[in-house]
Chains A and B, each alone.
Chain A
């Protein structure tokens, strides 16, 4: 192999793609999208609360109205005396944002029906607030029907609201507040991205091989470079495009998130809550108590819910800050690179055997199926990251890049990582060798539609 030739091929494959408008667009819009996913939900929580809304209530049941207590955010007004139709007619005139009609109590179902009308669609929070207030009223009313003296008191004492606080135990026995949900989301997102990247970029290699064959450039090319040089130059060139895109995404997203956060002072809000939680945890530990003891002691019942609430956000923040980003990014790069190399070489062989994209369908099946299986295993990996299916999925080379990446956020023993990488490299070498043999012959075959039998024959040819 001549390195100079491969270099020339890599440079062309890389530059023609990186200079494309679509590449620039995706590379620079991607981070905006990711940053939006990170920031917007929190922004909505902080800034988009329902404020100064006016809601009119027609309570035909006579039991619900007392639950609607006006706050700064929402002012409830009792229009029970009015007929729904007349209120609807004067809706605007009363300056209402919404009106809620509660039907009389149905004697059979012992319930009411609730209808809300509003000028602009009702927010989800508002809808939930109304629903829960009516639920409360109905429950109270039903309890009242039993006519037991302290039933209400008893019920509130019986009601349980336990939340599990999870810690991960480090090697040194250090406890870290963690959130399984965060691991789950990261595991899903990572496996989704690596699946997308492998499918997208190895597909790109296949298209590029087909393009060279269809445009008949290929015979001119192989009179200058060896077919294997051409194939590997192409695969490596496209890999560089993928890595460029990934790194730009990471860097630009980080810049955008920190930039926007700093601009709107969002960071300080998040920081303050996490500091608070931290302090609270330290306090509890300082007192020589753990969560169980606190509960056993029945300490400050009213604030328990508050703590639970706080510690959930705290756990997310703590998990996010404890995540080993370097390990995740490295893991992504290593598994993407190897998984991509494996699949790209197979897709290159398929591309070489056909003359246009429509013919690839049949030949693609044996390659796309393992990729899909990998994706499905990875999708359920968070449910049982240590199960046998997931373990083997993360070892078998054709599924390991995707499945292993889904496992990494939950922590994977070093020997498993090493074994899976070694197996993946071995599989790549074997597949690349076979693909090169097929590719060499396939690119010069025109006319006849290729079957698996042909591929097998080419594989045996020297």
Chain B
């Protein structure tokens, strides 16, 4: 059972429909990618899960029961539109956010100290936010999101504002938090991080869930049964009923070919046919489409 279950969630702003019977099930302890083009309704869905926005219809379950205001303390939310009080000191500010998430002053101070040491930013405690660079402020922001050990983390474009080094630090932290049992909802346009981090995804387009499920499963589903074969020897040609050669590149006897499997065929049949032709197989792999391609395909198809 998922930690968050949205059932037929609807939300409209006046005439404009933001979400139309959206149902998603977010499994516990995994990283869930929430994808979709701008204006698809992702932020609205996230705000509904955070109880910032009240839906017009449908229900949201947290751990199997209807979500309440108290559950919000178990959620850590890093919105896309985020910021800190510019004139406030970093430490005071982090304490304030931790207190609002229900931590006692003592716990908050102790936990924050740990995080500040971990990120090597203890010296920032008494600095004002306006003295920090954007990347530095993002680090502080990330800490304020996770300091109360939320069981559900909602991260909207968490890597924006970070340089590649710090983005890697954050990526590792996200994976570590998952290890520790947290569930993470990741909303991003960066499809590489989706492939790298997410276990499951849901793609929302025009207020509807277009597709949802495991990342590998979806990629395979949208694959068109192509394989890549690298071999040495004489060029091979299509074998009726088994495969069709789509392309074949020759670099001094070493070929890289893309084969399309014919209906009912499988990898083994291809390999045995190829081997029977007396060539040496260097590598053989299934060609799965990139999430990026699937995203573009699904979103443009609808238009």
Contact = CB atoms under 8 A, between A and B. Distances in A.
B99 interface: yes
A448 interface: no
A213 to B, nearest CB: 10
Contacts of A457: 14
A217 B85 contact: yes
A222 B100 contact: no
Interface residues of A, number: 26
Contact of B81 (A2, A5, A446): A446
Contact of B82 (A16, A220, A446): A220
Interface string B62-102: 00000001001101011101111111100000001101111
Interface of B: 13-14, 47, 50-54, 69, 72-73, 75, 77-79, 81-88, 96-97, 99-102, 141, 144-145
Contacts of A221: 100
Contacts of A12: 96
The 10 A-B pairs of least Cβ separation, nearest first, read A216-B83, A224-B100, A223-B77, A219-B79, A215-B83, A223-B50, A216-B81, A8-B99, A222-B52, A217-B83
A83 interface: no
A215 B141 CA distance: 13
A225 B53 CA distance: 12
Given A215-B83, A222-B52, A446-B81, A461 B100 contact: no
Nearest to A5: B100
A300 to B, nearest CB: 70
A224 B97 contact: yes
A220 B72 CA distance: 12
Contacts of A8: 96, 99-100
Nearest to B52: A222
Contacts of B82: 216-217, 219-220
13 contacts: A5-B100, A8-B96, A8-B99, A217-B83, A217-B84, A219-B79, A219-B81, A221-B100, A224-B73, A225-B100, A226-B51, A227-B52, A446-B81
B216 to A, nearest CB: 31
A444 interface: yes
Nearest to A222: B52
A147 interface: no
A220 B79 contact: yes
A462 B97 contact: no
Nearest to A16: B88
A457 B85 CA distance: 30
Nearest to B75: A223
Nearest to B49: A223
B185 to A, nearest CB: 13
Nearest to B50: A223
A215 B144 CA distance: 16
Contacts of A216: 79, 81-83
Contacts of B14: 457, 461
B100 to A, nearest CB: 4
Interface in A443-462: 444, 446, 457, 461-462
Contacts of A222: 50, 52
A444 B52 contact: yes
A450 to B, nearest CB: 14
A226 B141 CA distance: 20
A223 B79 contact: yes
Interface in A277-327: none
A59 B84 CA distance: 78
Nearest to A457: B14
Interface string A1-23: 01011001100100010000000
Contacts of A215: 83-86
A304 B141 CA distance: 79
Given A224-B72, A444-B53, 12 more contacts: A5-B100, A8-B100, A12-B96, A216-B79, A216-B82, A216-B83, A217-B84, A220-B141, A221-B100, A223-B50, A224-B97, A226-B51
Contact of B101 (A219, A224, A462): A224
Given A226-B69, A446-B81, A220 B144 contact: yes
A351 to B, nearest CB: 15
Interface centre among B47, B77, B79, B84 (most CB of A within 10 A): B79
Contacts of A227: 52
Contacts of B84: 215, 217
Contact of B97 (A212, A220, A226): A220
Contacts of B69: 2, 226
Contacts of A226: 51, 69
B98 to A, nearest CB: 10
A68 B87 CA distance: 67
Contacts of A223: 50, 52, 72, 75, 77, 79
